[in-house]
Chains A and B, each alone.
Chain A
Amino acid sequence: EVQLVESGGDLVKPGGSLRLSCAASGFTFSYAWMSWVRQAPGKGLEWVGRIKSKTDGGTADYAAPVKGRFTISRDDSKNTVYLQMNSLKTEDTAVYYCATPSHQMANWGQGTLVTVSS
């Protein structure tokens, strides 16, 4: 059974940093393209970015609002994908989900809440 478990959500001040983790199990993680999607309170879904498998280049793509501030990385030895968030803004407040695969997200974690507030 595919399982994705996010962690690392917290309350952080504007301008601060946070790293989210998503631990995966139940599938061959090293082959998977992994995505991050967020949802602000009471709002719709917003794609954040995705990382390809290392065999497919291992590169990441990002949505415009987070490009240059957020970085997605992966550690295939730990079956974990990360979302490093820097220069956080109040508008980054959201539940952050990891999901897989990339083009059509059939498997999702339960989400982790990030609150950016002074």
Chain B
Amino acid sequence: DIQMTQSPSSLSASVGDRVTITCRASQSISTYLNWYQQKPGKAPNLLIYATSSLQSGVPSRFSGSGSVTDFTLTISSLQPEDFASYYCQQGYNTPFTFGGGTKVEVK
């Protein structure tokens, strides 16, 4: 199985900050990497698919990059509604594993 390692597991940031979350796969997954946002008590929401494609309706302050085994989610200017947990997920091979998550908290 492909292991997905996300870092950091949590971070504290302020509104307006640039935030970067990384995800590393245990083997090559090409660009089959997705990012989700989840708020407490809610279902996850797809932000970025195929490494860098923005899901419809997602603000352009979210962006993704990377390839092979190393990937990044960037929030260019953190907004109040962005305090949440974020998960990467590989869609290259089943089982479609998730990273452990990153909780973005208020500084």
Contacts and interface: CB of A to CB of B under 8 A. Distances in A.
Contacts, number: 57
Nearest to A103: B91
Contacts of B49: 104, 106
Given A47-B96, A50-B94, A50-B96, A104 B101 contact: no
Contacts of A61: 94-95
Interface string A30-66: 0000010100000011110110000000000111100
A84 interface: no
Interface in B31-54: 32, 34, 36, 38, 43-46, 49-50
B28 to A, nearest CB: 16
Interface in B10-43: 32, 34, 36, 38, 43
A45 B98 contact: yes
Contact of A104 (B43, B45, B50, B98): B50
A45 B97 CA distance: 9
Interface of A: 35, 37, 44-47, 49-50, 61-64, 97, 102-106, 108-111
Interface of B: 1, 32, 34, 36, 38, 43-46, 49-50, 55, 87, 89, 91, 94-101
Given A44-B101, A45-B38, A104-B46, 20 more contacts: A35-B96, A44-B87, A44-B98, A44-B99, A45-B87, A47-B89, A47-B98, A61-B94, A61-B95, A62-B95, A102-B91, A103-B34, A103-B96, A104-B91, A105-B89, A106-B49, A108-B43, A108-B44, A108-B45, A109-B43
